[in-house]
Amino acid sequence: MINRRNFIQRSVAGAVGIAISQEVYPSIVLQKKKGKLGVALVGLGYYSTDLLAPALQLTQQCYLAGVVTGTPAKAEKWKQKYNLADKNIYNYQNFDSIANNPDIDIIYIVLPPSMHAEYSIRAANAGKHVWCEKPMAVTEAECKSMIDACTKNKVKLSIGYRMQHEPNTKKIIQLRKDLTYGKVMKVDVAAGYFDARTDHWKQKKNMGGGCMGDMGVYPLNAARYSVGLEPIAVTAKASTTRPEIYTEVEETMKFDLEFPGGATASCEASFGKSMNDLLVTCSKGWYKLSPFQAYNGINGITSDGTKLNATVVNEQTTQMDDDALAIMNNTQVMVPGEEGLKDIRVVEAIYRSVAQKKRVTI
């Protein structure tokens, strides 16, 4: 089985590079679309192929302008399917030359977490705005380096927390701000699915695998935006029911967060079981979303029977249009790098708690 690590290693090693023509096609459909920002996807795995690329066909403020891949066959397939210009198709060896391409305004990093910092920094140094999938990076130090690179190059950095762009999620954040049901006292949140794969980067420690960085940031981020404060302590426990597969990283992570003022959060993430619920208990009532982080169908209800069931055409489309507008209008992106860094700071504390088998202050 060839995973992303293998093909990237092969491309970097120079085995069978892509012969990319720099010919500029005259066809108008290949020219930069007026009034829209050009997006290049880096890494053409499932999320780019099945979700981001289709979503970019629906966006109003941006469009799919190019791709970066280490697989020649993928490059040709994407070129034909999305009518991409040869000059907008890159590999990992000529990536930095993207700086000279005016068609590309934004580089969207959709690689394993261990590669986020490197390619985000290179994208920023190329003068391109950066969108990076979650988790932002593996360490807080890497997150800081990404923020610094984008600040230095005067480009925007946005992290792909699509749920913060979703209307029902935005509603519960507003309920908290307005104290509609009183002060938040307790958050119960869990996200997980059964992953049957046995050889994937999510099971490799050196690629940033483990359920905490992948599914774990959903309950972590939800706990933070539900309470509206930063956690001050965590107690965590990692486990696995399939040690023959999860030899390097955890399959399941449970963690309890403590917040200033007494609020707490009980969180769980897993690659071993299906979970998808968020319950926020307040001093004068409660509200919940179930599911709270699916690609569609986010639904909820409050203790007084109010339904939370607003819909969007496509979550990824909404996210990318929001972020493109922030670039166009030079306004703050909804989920900046600092937000991703705050999660990774807690993730590192969670792993310290697991290693030390005790409560850890953050």
Give tens-digit pLDDT for 315-352: 999 999 999 999 999 999 999 999 999 999 999 999 99
Cis upstream peptide for 243 (omega within 30°): no
Q: Which amino acid is at 359?
A: R
The model's pTM is 0.90
Q: Is the pLDDT of residue 28 over 60?
A: no
Write down the pLDDT at residue 21.
30
97-108: string of b/e by CB count within 10 Å (b at 16+)? Answer: ebeebebbbbbb
Exactly one of 74, 87, 134, 288 is catalytic; name it.
134
Per the annotation, the verdict on 358 as an active-site residue is: no
pLDDT for 32 equals 54
The answer to whether 58 touches 314, Cβ cutoff 8 Å, is yes
Residues carrying CATH 3.30.360.10, the chain: 163-313+337-361
Any idea which fold 163-313+337-361 has? Answer: Dihydrodipicolinate Reductase; domain 2 (3.30.360)
Instruction: Choose the weakest-confidence range: 19-28, 78-87, 138-147, 283-292.
Output: 19-28
pLDDT tens-digit profile of 207-256? Answer: 999 999 999 999 999 999 999 999 999 999 999 999 999 999 999 999 99
Every domain range in the chain assigned CATH 3.40.50.720: 4-160
Q: Residue 205 — pLDDT band, cuts 50, 70, 90?
A: very high
Tell me which fold the domain 4-160 belongs to: Rossmann fold (3.40.50)
Average pLDDT rounded to a whole number, residues 262-273:
98
3-state secondary structure of 299: coil
Catalytic residue among 90, 181, 218, 351: 218
Question: Stretch 258-276: mean pLDDT, rounded?
Answer: 98
Per-residue pLDDT band for 20 (boundaries 50, 70, 90) equals: very low
Q: Is residue 218 annotated as a catalytic residue, yes or no?
A: yes
Q: Which residue reads 């599911």 in tokens?
A: 291
Phi, psi of 300 (to 5 degrees): -160, 180
Cis check for the bond before 112: say yes or no (omega within 30 of 0): no
